[in-house]
Amino acid sequence: MLSKNIPGIKTALFFKATLLITLFATFPNFTFASPTTNLVNISFFQEYVAEIEYKLDKGDIDPVRGGYSIVLASALPLPGAEKLRNRFINMGIGSKIFRMKPYEKELYRICSGQFQDQESAKLYQKEMIELTGITEVWILPLIPEMITGTPDYATDYTEEKVYIPEIVINEDFQPVGSKPDKHTGPTNYTAFFNTYNSVIVLLQQKNMVELESYIHPRYGVFVTENLGALVTIKNFRSFKDLYAYKYIDLTPLVYPLSPEDFPKYLCDKDAWTKTGSFSKELSGADRILTRWLDNLPSNSYTNVQVDLMRECENSISMGIIQVENPPFFHKLQIYFSYIDGRWYITAIDNVIPCSA
């Protein structure tokens, strides 16, 4: 019976030896002494080992169960991902390699942890940032279509790819070249994706205190709406005022964000052309705010107000929309500006389709 368990015994002994090496490397002054003289150190060692073993459990991820995981990094190709995963394991962080179809077969994600709510995932994300020093780790919604990475999976898979930002690094945590993509330009899409996840969590929590940091002091938040026949534009200076405004619903949907053109609402069919969460790059030429002024009397707003609208819309470079069809009609459309190295919420489209 014992001989059958030798591989398992070897694995356990190797793991404990690795823990000891890691411990002495991390805490060079640590020594084993007699139980009477070193009880504190032994107790600390036991807690340290328990913490490492706890984090190693974070590699037990089953996408079928849903929820969220933390993408620690991505690697090219699979051997690079395996080396990177081993590096995380040596740090005591359990992880699993995934590739989410449709995607290029040589790019893999190293994920850690599985959580049923974004709040818990957000806490673990912060913990991983502190532990690894990788500030770009992000929250990934788990879906059944995710699979464990293998070198020969779906080599002829031809479905249109969906871009999701990757932090591609090697086993020394150094960035390496990745495929070019339109989202790697000045819009800083990786930072935007992290901002989007943070904003969605805060909106779910209705955390007005934290949301205030996403309001630009000069622009505030412009809201377009159509309570009557015409679209009007209001300006809010705080999320407290936004939540107090009864004609706007800031409740978010929990959908993976897909960078593609926004859906259109078909009035004759009373339905969106597609549902989910979508992001899109924008510019001042889109006239997010001032296009609505074309149908309003020229004296509806002062020159100062119009100038501020123009200035604000010229700063907008990303937009997101979340939609669901009737009878559960839902629309949340937010615009973001990247100013002085960070993202701000500068406009919200609260226009009801087919009523303006």
- State the burial class of residue 257 (Cβ atoms within 10 Å of its Cβ: 0-12, 13-18, 19+): buried
Identity at 230, one-letter amino acid code: L
Among the ranges given (26-30, 71-75, 288-292), the one the predictor scored with the smallest mean pLDDT: 26-30
Query: What is the rounded CA–CA span in Å between residue 238 and residue 213?
Result: 10
Query: What is the C-alpha to C-alpha distance for residues 272 and 251, in angstroms, rounded to an integer?
Result: 18
Indicate if the pLDDT at residue 1 is higher than 60: no
Cβ–Cβ under 8 Å, residues 134 and 145? no
Overall average pLDDT of the 20-43 stretch: 45
Task: Report the range out of 105-109, 149-153, 177-181, 334-338 with the highest average pLDDT.
Answer: 334-338
- Following DSSP, what letter does each residue of 92-133 receive, concatenated? T---EEEEESSS-TT-EEEEEEEESSHHHHHHHHHHHHHHH-
Encode pLDDT of 292-329 as tens digits: 999 888 888 999 999 999 999 999 999 999 999 877 78
Predicted pLDDT at 132: 83
In whole angstroms, give the CA distance from residue 252 to residue 332: 7
Which of 72, 142, 143 has its CA nearest to residue 114?
A: 142
Sheet with 221-225, edge to edge strand ranges: 232-236, 221-225, 342-350, 330-339, 316-324, 276-281, 257-259
Domains in the chain, please, with CATH? 13-42 (no CATH), 59-174 (3.30.70.1070), 206-350 (no CATH)
pLDDT of residue 156: 30
pLDDT of residue 103: 43
Residue 316 identity = I
> Mean pLDDT throughout 25-53?
45
List residues bridging with 276 in a β-sheet: 323
Pick from 46-55, 105-114, 141-150: least confident: 46-55
The stretch 194-219 carries a mean pLDDT of 89
Q: How confident is the model at residue 44 (pLDDT cuts 50, 70, 90)?
A: very low
The more confident residue out of 47 and 92 is 92
Q: Check residue 63 and give its pLDDT.
A: 80
Mind listing the pLDDT tens digit for each residue in 252-295? 987 778 888 999 999 888 899 999 899 999 989 999 999 999 98
Mean pLDDT confidence for 31-40: 41
Which residues does 109 contact at the CB level (< 8 Å), separation at least 6?
71, 73, 74, 81, 97, 98, 99, 100, 140, 149, 166
Please tell me the predicted confidence (pLDDT) of residue 327: 78
* Proportion of the chain above pLDDT 90, given as a percent: 28
Higher pLDDT, 179 or 270: 270
**Residue 201, pLDDT score:** 85
Give the chain's mean pLDDT. Answer: 75
CB 336 within 8 A of CB 343: yes
CA 312, CA 314: separation in Å to the nearest integer?
5
